[in-house]
């Protein structure tokens, strides 16, 4: 049985890093002098379906797209659809809008990227200050032990492939802290510099393969003579905090990839984004189980890949539409060869969002109703233990965990994390 994990922005909420929508709210709270300007952008994006026939949420990624266009720092690309919505809503031509808003947009963009970096790097800075990353291990260690179904010293080969749509470095930092190798898609070019290469993800490696679909804060864009790498202008830096704090203007070099519809086709094809999407599609076709953690499934490009692959799986008979009762799906999916398990505190809301575009995904995802606590919570250990107990029971019902897995997990969670998980009663499991 092969296993894939998709981490969304919500997977970092336990470390105080907000999701996409809350990111913009927090930024506005700390930059009230920009609020009138950003409210104009928000108003136009909220009208996007009326203006251009495509609905976009007002969140961090759409705001970044508009600020990139208006600031003029990427003049040689078509404008994004959110920016087109702004122009139509205000009756302005692009050059006129750039002239009117350019300076303010550049100011907002610089502050926003700095804000993103500072918020996302807080968990890493905390670990550097304290001399360890125990707070990351307190979350990832137990969760990945459960998903791995055994001690992490033996990473189950099928669970290697992890995709992410967030930008922070929490997972990669944790993997390094617990000495688990991680393949992050970088190879040395003929100048001995670490360049980004999507093909690296298909190579055999120990530990995790980590595919950053929307980019990462340790990848930067530079201009240099062509090397041997697939993307010679995208490098990995070993210490992002020092790199950007030594020279604050370097912050504009952060390499973040936004959804295809937000940045425009031409910008995306010049980035690794399309290659990584193809990699995701190929991986999904080989998977037995997909865990989706902290991801809203709103990205229409990624959503369409899931729709296409699920349609193929339905035709092949490895999955079939499930009942409307979400809680009944756990038992129904147990015998299916292909499972999409979504960890979400409010699956009904997720279902409402999926109804707009994704018939197959809507009919086949299986919810696990859990909300991860923040690691800073004084009652984190108690709350997290309750979450893990719920997760383990649900995964047993789904058919992912059997009694042998449970005994191994119970022993590791107590030995490594002092988390006590009783073995569920016999008869709960429907594992074949």
Per-residue pLDDT tens over the stretch 133-171: 999 999 999 999 999 888 887 665 545 689 999 899 999
Domain count, the chain: 2
Structure tokens given for 180: 């688990």
Is the same domain home to 144 and 107?
no
Is the same domain home to 201 and 310?
yes
Whether 51 is in a domain gets the answer yes
How does residue 293 score in pLDDT terms, banded at 50, 70 and 90?
very high
Q: Which of 97, 94, 106 is nearest to 40 (CA)?
A: 97
Whether 144 is in a domain gets the answer yes
Q: Where are the beta strands (DSSP E) in 133-284?
A: 161-164, 182-183, 186-188, 194-196, 208-212, 215-221, 231-236, 254-256
Q: Could you tell me the residue range of the domain that residue 87 belongs to? A: 20-123
Whether 303 is in a domain gets the answer yes
The torsion defined by the Cα of 408, 412, 418 and 422, in degrees rounded to 10, comes to: -10
Q: How many CB atoms lie within 10 A of CB 401?
A: 23
The torsion defined by the Cα of 13, 19, 22 and 26, in degrees rounded to 10, comes to: 60
Q: What is the pLDDT of residue 203?
A: 74
Q: 73: burial class by Cβ within 10 Å (0-12, 13-18, 19+)?
A: middle
Contact 407, 415 (CB under 8 A): no
Is the same domain home to 154 and 74?
no
Is the same domain home to 161 and 296?
yes
The C-alpha atoms of residue 400 and residue 395 are separated, in whole angstroms, by 5
**Could you write out the DSSP letters of every residue in 94-139?**
HHHHHHHHHHHHHHHHHHHHHHHHHHHHHHHHHHHHHTS-HHHHHH
How does residue 1 score in pLDDT terms, banded at 50, 70 and 90?
low
Q: What is the pLDDT of residue 74?
A: 64
Is the same domain home to 210 and 333?
yes
Contact 109, 67 (CB under 8 A): yes
Whether 422 is in a domain gets the answer no
Residue 211 backbone class (left: φ over 0; alpha: ψ -120 to 50; beta: rest): beta
Whether 251 is in a domain gets the answer yes
Which of 64, 96, 123 corresponds to the end of one domain?
123
Which of 84, 104, 123 corresponds to the end of one domain?
123
Is the same domain home to 27 and 108?
yes
Query: Beta strand 339-343 with 289-293: parallel, antiparallel or unpaired?
Result: parallel
Residue 430 has pLDDT above 50, yes or no: no
Whether 316 is in a domain gets the answer yes
- Tens-place pLDDT, residues 359-392: 999 999 999 999 999 999 999 999 999 999 999 9
Say which DSSP state 390 is in.
Answer: H
Is the same domain home to 324 and 257?
yes
Q: What is the pLDDT of residue 427?
A: 46
Residue 73 has pLDDT above 50, yes or no: yes
Is the same domain home to 109 and 222?
no
Which of 91, 123, 155 corresponds to the end of one domain?
123
Is the same domain home to 155 and 259?
yes
Q: Which of 248, 255, 251 is nearest to 234 (CA)?
A: 255
Residue 319 has pLDDT above 50, yes or no: yes
Look at 22 and 306; give whichever has higher pLDDT.
306
Whether 253 is in a domain gets the answer yes
Mean pLDDT (whole number) for 203-216: 85
Is the same domain home to 65 and 189?
no
Is the same domain home to 63 and 108?
yes
Is the same domain home to 407 and 376?
yes
How does residue 19 score in pLDDT terms, banded at 50, 70 and 90?
confident
pTM assigned to the model? 0.91
Whether 431 is in a domain gets the answer no
Residue 428 has pLDDT above 50, yes or no: no
């Amino acid at each position: 049985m092969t296993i894939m994990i998709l981490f969304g922005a919500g997977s970092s909420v336990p470390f105080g890093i907000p999701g996409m929508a809350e990111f913009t709210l927090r930024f506005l709270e700390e930059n009230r002098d920009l609020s009138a300007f950003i409210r104009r952008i928000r108003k136009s994006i909220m009208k996007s379906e009326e203006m251009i026939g495509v609905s976009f949420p007002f969140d961090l990624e759409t705001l970044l797209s508009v600020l990139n266009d208006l600031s003029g720092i990427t003049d040689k690309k078509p404008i994004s659809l959110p920016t087109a919505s702004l122009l139509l809503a205000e009756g302005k031509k692009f050059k006129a809008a750039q002239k009117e808003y350019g300076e303010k947009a550049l100011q907002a963009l610089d502050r926003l990227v700095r804000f993103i970096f500072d918020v996302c790097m807080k968990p890493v800075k905390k670990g550097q200050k304290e001399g360890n990353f125990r707070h990351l291990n307190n979350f990832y260690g137990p969760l990945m032990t459960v998903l791995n179904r055994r001690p992490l010293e033996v990473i189950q080969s099928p669970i290697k492939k992890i995709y992410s749509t967030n930008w922070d470095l929490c997972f990669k930092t944790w993997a390094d802290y617990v000495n688990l190798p991680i393949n992050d898609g970088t190879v040395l070019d003929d100048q001995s510099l670490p360049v980004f290469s999507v093909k690296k993800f298909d190579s055999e490696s120990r530990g995790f393969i980590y595919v950053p679909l929307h980019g990462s804060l340790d990848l930067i864009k530079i201009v240099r003579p062509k090397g041997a790498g697939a993307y010679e202008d995208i490098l990995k830096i070993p210490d992002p905090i020092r790199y950007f704090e030594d020279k604050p203007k370097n912050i504009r070099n952060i390499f973040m990839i936004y959804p295809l519809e937000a940045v425009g086709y031409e910008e995306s094809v010049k980035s690794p984004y399309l290659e990584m999407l193809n990699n995701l599609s190929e991986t999904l076709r080989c998977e037995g189980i997909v865990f989706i953690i902290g991801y809203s499934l709103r990205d229409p490009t990624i959503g369409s890949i899931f729709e296409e692959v699920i349609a193929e799986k339905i035709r092949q008979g490895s999955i079939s539409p499930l009942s409307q009762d979400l809680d009944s799906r756990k038992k129904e999916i147990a015998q299916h060869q292909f499972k999409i398990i979504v960890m979400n505190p409010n699956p009904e809301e997720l279902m409402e969002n999926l109804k707009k575009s994704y018939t197959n995904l809507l009919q086949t995802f299986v919810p696990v109703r859990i909300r991860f606590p923040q690691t800073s919570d004084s009652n984190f250990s108690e709350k997290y233990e309750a979450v893990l107990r719920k997760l383990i029971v649900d995964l047993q019902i789904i058919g992912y965990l059997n009694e042998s897995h449970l005994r191994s997990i119970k022993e590791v969670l107590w030995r490594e994390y002092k988390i006590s998980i009783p073995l569920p009663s016999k008869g709960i499991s429907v594992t074949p």
